[in-house]
Amino acid sequence: MSSSVESRQAKMIAELRVFIKKVLSDPTIAVKSVDIARKYRNEANADELMAREISANTTIRIPENWSEADKMFLEILHEVLDDEEALY
């Protein structure tokens, strides 16, 4: 594995560790994030709208230039909504 790949993976893991600590310290983050994702799910620029509102209403900060961890978080929100929809 190249050092650039290892560096990217290490950075992503560090970002995810910070994120997980925030979610564990404030359980309302998950609920708020899913509610926000649900609100914008069918919009053309849903990910951008979700990122902005999550950043504005929680301690999670998603910058304009998304990292791999930011993208993963938004993808996971979509997966949660897909799973939720499949239940009904």
Tens of pLDDT, residues 62-71: 999 998 889 9
Residue 81 three-state SS = helix
Identity of the highest mean pLDDT range in 1-5, 20-24, 46-50: 46-50
Check: CB of residue 48 under 8 Å from CB of residue 74. no
What confidence score (pLDDT) does residue 1 get? 65
Total-model pTM: 0.84
